[in-house]
Amino acid sequence: MASYYDIDDILVEEEIVSVIFQKAASGVGIDPSSETDFIEAGSKVELPFWLAHELQLRQAVSVNVPPCFNQKTRLEIQADCACVDLRSRCPYFYEFGCKIAPIVGDRTIGFLLLSAFKNRYKEVLTKAHTATIAVGSKFWTILTKEEINLYETAQSAMASFKKWRMGGARFQIASILGRKRKPTE
């Protein structure tokens, strides 16, 4: 369970989902173009996950399966897992999947996440230990947040080992100050 203060967890919950209101709700600010502040029962509404989740718990809405987990995406993922651009579908593909699966009661989402992760993580592993990927390279742009974290974890462990092997200064400027301060002439 993620912590209350977990930044990534907060951002995951900002993902937009589409719901059907089972109950009416009044006095809420719908998009500015709307003339009314009333949502009738049966309306289709897009709202952030955190709100959808709470309303769903109280049976006020039913949540639709988000597009990044629909059949079309699934087929694409299964066809060429390692190269699918998951980030553009949802930067928090795995975390969001974990949250949405119990809500929409779709058992197959778990399998989808697992098989996608299983197929993709090897690539992350090999790349992390051997090559440095330039930020912005193609491989980099298709990774989800979790995959990037994993890549960076592996990369920095390897980098700190290499740094130790090279030897040199043991004490360095605090990383927060960066590599600035070439004395200004």
Partner 1 sequence: MSCSGGCHLMCSPVKILNMYGRKACQLVKEFASGEKGQLTPFNNDLFEQVVSECSQHHLELQSLIRKMQEEGLDVQTARNADHYGALIHLFSIVRNKRCLTAYVYNRAETVRNLLWKIGPVLPKEIEEKLNHWEEEYFKKHSAALKSYMSKALVDLTVDMVPPKDPYIQVRVLEDIREGIVLSDDKNPNFARHSMHFLKRTDAEKYISRGLMEELTG
Partner 2 sequence: MAGQSDHELSLFSAEELEFIAEDEIVDIVPNLKMDPLCLISGDFGPFTPQIVTQVPLWLAIALKKRGKCSICPPQWMTVEKLTQVLEVERDSQEMSEHLPFHYVEISRLLFDHARDNIPDAYMVRSLIEDIRDVRFHKVETDLEGFNGRTIAVKIKNLSAMEVNIVRPFIGRALQAFYKHDSSELIPDPERAPDRRPQVAHNAPRRQLRR
Q: Is 122 in the site for partner 2 (CB under 8 A)?
A: yes
72's contact among partner 1, partner 2, none, with CB below 5 to 8 A by partner kind, is none
Q: Whose Cβ is closer to partner 1: residue 84's or residue 95's?
A: 95
Task: Give the per-residue SS3 of the chain.
Answer: CCCCCCHHHHHHCCCEEEEEECCCEECCCCCCCCCCCEECCCCEEEEEHHHHHHHHHCCCEEECCCHHHCHHHHHHHHHCHHHCCHHHHCCCHHHHHHHHHHHHCCCHHHHHHHHHHHHHHHHHHHHHHHCCCCCCCHHHHCCCHHHHHHHHHHHHHHHHHHHHHHCCCCCCCCHHHCCCCCCCC
Q: Is 133 in the site for partner 1 (CB under 8 A)?
A: no
Applying CB under 8 A, among 16, 129, 138, 141 the residue interacting with partner 2 is 129
Q: Is 118 in the site for partner 2 (CB under 8 A)?
A: yes
Q: Is 92 in the site for partner 2 (CB under 8 A)?
A: no
The least CB distance from residue 74 to partner 1, in Å, is: 14
Q: Is 134 in the site for partner 1 (CB under 8 A)?
A: no
The least CB distance from residue 114 to partner 2, in Å, is: 4
